[in-house]
A and B are shown apart, each in its own frame.
Chain A
């Protein structure tokens, strides 16, 4: 039995790696994507372009503007000199934020009365706008503290002190790069498995396989193991890059991480093979892979939190193996989650894997043309 499975695995690898193009698509793009996405996929804003519209010649306005200029989050573009320029500056996206200081600013402050500054934001990307607004608010809070201390005003009766656990500098790369491990592993595994049966069906060799003494379980193993191996190699490579190149802390144990990867690959391969055994042509196989991949990525919490979704969509994510894997990846990388805390994430993936693999094996024989 194992000899037959081994022969099938060997054949699968030959089919995947036989020509230069196929080899390249398995190795090249994941490396390029890891590099590009690792740097591109970030919610942190650097050098947000801002414009100043200052009508106040006073010293306080100068100090506040200097605070904005000194922040690494902001980059000043050409100043605005009259009201009519604000709209075109924002429309053209020359500036994401306009800081408008009225003519009475310093005078009001020196009289001990509250002065207001206006911050106008481009809301086309609401997330960017919110983050930029938060940066601006922090600068103004610091300014207020300093101003109060310098001018002998009493500080507000209560103040916030904030600390972030697991990611003290709130670098979103720490959040995204472990997610990319899941993303690329899923994509490669899905494409390898989703086309494997469909290819044989389209070429007619699957019927031949069915009349050999191989049992469906053996065919299933022969089709699944290459995907598992490729997925493991791919995941290992990306983890090594995440740690050594992107310097993402890997606090938890490798054993816990690989337990998660193995179970996740099981479920991804199951879904891939199931799609593949439903598909009659490779185009259908690819379409099926896509129809699974895209929602699986978007609804996994990779970029946008699951908690923000409507309750019904949150329920829908429960059948998405990627969702559990994301928690494991981030938990093990950043929080050092021990194995027992991973169990609630592991068993749903295992369940999905077993169910889809069983269905794929059943479809081998029961979907014939």
Chain B
């Protein structure tokens, strides 16, 4: 009885010592502090301001073969749209050249018989040419031009004292994000990307470093258990990571004005689960690699890029091929992005949060368990 008490006290002391050592190392080499606090600030600033899918003031060439009152009323609609910055050009050759050189994204052309055909039976064609290289932007531009066109038709009918004769009119309602601000969904997603980076980067190299420097061998001959070594690594970095999370959420709400409709408690509870999974993955990489070069490479390749591309943060998971959709299930960021977007924009929808949180728990248990299994007190 007495000896177990003693051993337990010793375990707590050993763990305390390891945590203290790790904290000292963090303080001495400022790169860990930088990862936890500087990285989120820099990344959120750059991404929050830099990542946007909302096209505004798209430069568009307007070619009118024969100017008149009708063409002027149509092109005028482009000048009033906040989506476009029209550049009137004299002919198609000039417009084509501007499109090739990337000075305009699209060309709107009204042929010389526009005014005549407008009063004809078949209607006048409005030619729209877009640069299709960036297919997504091209499609959005097409949608905006559709909007300008319908608006112009309606206005024209109104000024003639008629109602626009379009059989079916589309009435759109966008929930959760009515202004369709892409920042509102990108910033919560970014938090997941940043947390992935923090978690994996912080821990990816710490065990590999000890092996490479030979200090692991020194630790192995002490009575410290492997479990304690791992906990000693995990606790300081977990605290650092949660600090980074707090900073990111604060910036999202106050700087980027993303609405936070759910509760802060739910947000941080899920973040803690996700961070455990990310740290576990970093630890696992670090244990398996035993070499900082390999650990660093593996951390970049297995964390940042999948979190960026496979998490549903920018690219829609539902549109990926089935096989790739299966692969996304092993990306922890996927669940976290889903939770973040829901808690921020929709609120605490428990039936959505719980299954995803459960997936995070499973992943955390898997990575930490595997790290524990692979970490052996032995030399190779």
**A residues in contact (CB < 8 Å) with B:** 19, 21-22, 25-26, 29, 33, 36-37, 39-49, 64, 90-93, 96, 109, 114-131, 133-134, 136-137, 140-141, 143-144, 147-148, 153-168, 170-172, 174-175, 183, 187, 191, 195, 199, 281-287, 289-291, 293-295, 297-299, 303-305, 307-310, 312-313, 316-317, 327, 330, 334-335, 341
B293 touches A298 (CB 8 A): no
In the complex, what residues of A have CB within 8 A of residue B42's CB?
291, 295
**Residue B257 at the chain A interface, CB threshold 8 Å:** no
Q: Contacts A42-B319, A44-B319: A126 and B53 contacting too (C-beta < 8 A)?
A: yes
B51 touches A298 (CB 8 A): yes
In the complex, what residues of A have CB within 8 A of residue B204's CB?
286
* Chain B proximity of A361: nearest CB distance (Å): 23
- The prevalent SS among residues of A at the interface is helix
Q: How far is the CA of A50 from the CA of B304 in the complex (A)?
A: 32
A294 touches B50 (CB 8 A): no
A41 touches B309 (CB 8 A): yes
Chain B residues 154-181 with CB under 8 Å of chain A are: 156, 163-178, 180-181
**B residues in contact (CB < 8 Å) with A:** 29, 31-32, 34-35, 39, 42-43, 46-47, 49-56, 58, 74, 99-102, 105, 114, 118-119, 121-140, 142-143, 145-146, 149, 152-153, 156, 163-178, 180-182, 184-185, 197, 201, 204-205, 209, 289, 291-294, 296-302, 304-305, 308-310, 312, 314-316, 318-321, 323-324, 327-328, 341-342, 345-346, 349, 351-352
Q: How far is the CA of A281 from the CA of B172 in the complex (A)?
A: 55
B49 touches A310 (CB 8 A): yes
In the complex, what residues of A have CB within 8 A of residue B118's CB?
157-158
B185 touches A125 (CB 8 A): yes
Q: Contacts A122-B175, A137-B146, A157-B118: A304 and B309 contacting too (C-beta < 8 A)?
A: no
Closest to A281 in B: B29
A191 touches B184 (CB 8 A): no
A158 touches B74 (CB 8 A): yes
A43, A140, A335: the one contacting B100 at CB < 8 Å is A335
In the complex, what residues of B have CB within 8 A of residue A143's CB?
167-168
In the complex, what residues of A have CB within 8 A of residue B100's CB?
335, 341
A123 touches B300 (CB 8 A): no
- Give 22 pairs: A residue, B residue, CB < 8 Å, sorted on A: A22-B294, A40-B327, A92-B351, A114-B168, A121-B173, A121-B175, A126-B182, A131-B136, A158-B124, A158-B153, A159-B124, A164-B131, A165-B99, A175-B134, A187-B301, A199-B292, A282-B209, A293-B304, A298-B51, A307-B58, A308-B54, A313-B50
In the complex, what residues of B have CB within 8 A of residue A154's CB?
121, 165
A118, A158, A174, A335: the one contacting B123 at CB < 8 Å is A158
Closest to B34 in A: A287
In the complex, what residues of A have CB within 8 A of residue B153's CB?
156-158
A123 touches B131 (CB 8 A): no
A313 touches B49 (CB 8 A): yes
A187 touches B132 (CB 8 A): no
B128, B165, B171: the one contacting A160 at CB < 8 Å is B128
* Chain B proximity of A66: nearest CB distance (Å): 14
A299 touches B50 (CB 8 A): yes
B201, B205, B297, B305: the one contacting A25 at CB < 8 Å is B297
Q: Contacts A125-B341, A162-B142, A304-B51: A156 and B165 contacting too (C-beta < 8 A)?
A: yes
* Chain A proximity of B66: nearest CB distance (Å): 15
Q: Contacts A144-B166, A298-B50: A125 and B31 contacting too (C-beta < 8 A)?
A: no
